[in-house]
Chains A and B, each alone.
Chain A
Amino acid sequence: MEKNEDVTLMTETYQEMFKRVKDKGEGVFIPFMVAGDPDFETSLEIIKKMVEGGADALEIGFPFSDPVADGQTVQSADLRALNAGMTTDKCFEFIRRIREFTEIPIGLLVYYNLIYQRGINKFYEDALKSGVNGVLAADLPPEEAEESVKAARKHGIDPIFLAAQTTSNERLKQIAEMCSGFLYVVSVMGVTGARSEVKTSSVELVERMRSHTDLPLCVGFGISKPEHVAEVIKAGADGAIIGSALINIVEENLKDKTVLLDKVKEACAELKNATRIQG
């Protein structure tokens, strides 16, 4: 346990990371991957490649049997991971193993039942011990989040929230008060999944959110290409989160691990590169 706590101390906070990246004149690139997809060890190697490819932070999904906010791609990844034997214990072990090779911020994307079953306080305690910086529960709106936010704060973990086009300015204020680390801006009306273009409405969305909060804004859902990343960064977002497009690479290359890892690293490098737009 002590060793883990030492690891936690070495991690970079979201605040430090956003400042570091901004000082370089770049946007933040956050890849998403489901812990244990397609299996524990391969998944860990994938994360390593993401870091080598230039990830500024990581978003790690704990697999859930019924992920209603996610599309087909993430659901398939969840099922692959669960079938490969992932449990919440193993997910935390997974984070600890990531901490052996990187200090960049790690955020969890979970469904609330996983937190609830473990015991809210214990979940955040374990998250801290394994080296997690932030937790976003996809199906936990501010209405139900009081206890979780309290537990998160107690353990020095940033509670991260979603904000969407449908979120009114009034709600946005409420969400921003509970949220720290960054605000996860949902760019589309829909579930996660790669889409061919970024809608102009997401540009307007970033602008609207920017006028209501000082939190770093990271745009996700539907972002799949370097052009999309460049576009949302140009629109004023601090970062972009890419999941399904990367998971597609995993799914398409399950038979050849070397190719899989090379392609993930290459894709991440391209996506990171797209954040380096000259203002």
Chain B
Amino acid sequence: MIESGKFGKYGGVFVPELIIPALEELEKAFLKYKDDEKFNEELQYYLKEFAGRPTALYYAKNLSEKLGCKIYLKREDMLHTGAHKINNTLGQGLLAKYMGKTRLIAETGAGQHGIATAVVGANFKIPVEVYMGSEDVERQKLNVFRMEISGAKVLPVHSGSKTLKDAINEAFRDWITNIETTHYLIGTTMGPHPYPTMVKHFQSVIGQEARKQILEKEGKLPDAAIACVGGGSNAMGLFSGFLDDEEVDLIGVEGGGEGVETDKTGATLCKGTEGVLHGSLSYVLQNQDGQIKEASSVSAGLDYPGVGPEHAYLHTSGRAKYVAVTNEEALRGFELLSKYEGIIPALESSHAVAYAEKYAKMPENKGKTIIVNLSGRGDKDMFLVAKEMGEEL
């Protein structure tokens, strides 16, 4: 590898030998094309015309009045396919095309990344196969259909916990077997180097836009930037715009599940410990021996026992703060934004909204300016939320 891919001590390339040459090839291509004029022109074209960038930084007036803070929403939910995931799939999809790969594989939890990969594959004419835990296939039927209608093949994974973690295991196995033809399009800032760096690069457009937009609207930087963290790609995207601005609080909100004090949680940084999973040294939910635990969150996108290594670094260095929000609180965030702003957030993003409310209510934060990353829209979660609310759709 050209670079070590380390953030402090986190990150790296903890993978079987068979994968290394593919990572070397990918790193080389990424380093070459990320500064390539033609590549970037093409990517910009797709981001603008296909995905719908730039997204608005919307001043949430009603919510701001209610909470006594200035709340801005970075509207990644307005993107094509309904989530920030498309930024990264367009970037990696294009890279795969430049590399001459003839097949894309991906894994998905909530389905957002699967859909974003499926539409990019359809558009770029590259066949797509998506691994998805069989439990998630059940939970997210609508998204499975959306992937299939774009021509992707959804492969249910029945092993282990039957969720995202196991879908990732299967995707890695597939990649090991088909490494010459296939690009594994990882959907978040996890995995071996160069993925955490590459995904951050493709998502950094969120932070760049948000920074520019808030300076235009407020004439100053925000006091806080809040985003939900599963693997951590939307948070890394937003944070990247403010990493060097020490005065901006960076807050990552994890899926607390039924509470970090219980075993049913997805809050990796709040509750996990250092460990190696899926190619990098980061934080993981595990037992004393290092066996990986199953994560739990009402939101399938936050239901992952690992987290991107750069978040582990920001956590231990203290640059960013990580908190957990329970399922119940997230559902309240979901209702809050829907009711006060007429914006229905994804359950993942609802975690960020729920914490924004908590943050705003702290006396010392009165009147502060906050950017909340609205990573995705909530259409996909309507059945689940209705069920939680005791309604039948």
Contacts and interface: CB of A to CB of B under 8 A. Distances in A.
B18 interface: yes
B18 A140 contact: no
A37 to B, nearest CB: 15
Interface of B is mostly: mixed
Contacts of A66: 160, 165-166, 169, 277-278, 292
A69 interface: yes
B338 interface: no
Contacts of B278: 66, 68
B160 A189 contact: no
A138 B159 CA distance: 20
B369 to A, nearest CB: 41
B289 interface: yes
Given A143-B1, A143-B12, A114 B290 contact: yes
B176 A190 contact: yes
Nearest to B273: A117
B14 interface: yes
Interface residues of A, number: 40
Interface in B122-181: 159-160, 165-166, 169, 172-173, 176-179
Interface residues of B, number: 37
B16 interface: yes
B317 interface: no
A118 B1 CA distance: 28
Interface stretch (A10-18, A151-159, A164-172, A236-244): A164-172
Contacts of A68: 15-16, 169, 172-173, 176, 278
A166 B276 contact: no
Interface in A124-156: 138-141, 143-144
Nearest to A91: B289
Given A66-B160, A68-B16, A139-B276, A191 B289 contact: no
Contacts of B289: 87-88, 114, 117-118
Given A64-B291, A117-B288, A139-B14, A166 B179 contact: yes
B92 to A, nearest CB: 20
Contacts of B288: 117
Contact of A191 (B14, B176, B276, B277): B176
A80 B276 CA distance: 22
B365 to A, nearest CB: 38
Contacts of B100: none
A167 B20 CA distance: 8
B367 interface: no
Given A113-B286, A114-B290, A171-B20, A144 B176 contact: no
B371 to A, nearest CB: 35
Interface in A43-91: 64-69, 71-72, 75, 79, 82, 87-88
Contact of A186 (B18, B22, B178, B277): B18
A186 B286 contact: no
A112 B276 contact: yes
A189 B177 contact: yes
Interface string B261-299: 000000000000011111101001010111110000000
Contact of A144 (B14, B169, B291): B14
A66 B277 CA distance: 8
B129 to A, nearest CB: 16
Given A144-B12, A190-B177, A113 B275 contact: yes
A113 B13 CA distance: 13
Contacts of A65: 160, 291-292
Contacts of B172: 68
B18 A166 contact: yes
24 contacts: A66-B278, A66-B292, A71-B173, A75-B159, A82-B291, A88-B290, A111-B290, A116-B275, A116-B276, A116-B281, A117-B275, A118-B289, A139-B14, A141-B13, A143-B4, A143-B13, A166-B18, A171-B20, A186-B17, A189-B177, A189-B178, A190-B173, A190-B176, A191-B173
- Closest 10 pairs between A and B when the two form their complex, measured CB to CB: A117-B290, A190-B177, A113-B290, A69-B16, A162-B17, A166-B21, A68-B172, A113-B276, A65-B291, A65-B292
Interface of A: 64-69, 71-72, 75, 79, 82, 87-88, 111-114, 116-118, 138-141, 143-144, 161-168, 171, 175, 186, 189-191
Given A114-B290, A117-B275, A168-B21, 18 more contacts: A64-B291, A65-B292, A66-B160, A66-B278, A69-B18, A82-B291, A88-B289, A112-B276, A113-B290, A116-B276, A116-B281, A118-B290, A139-B14, A143-B4, A167-B21, A175-B17, A189-B179, A191-B177
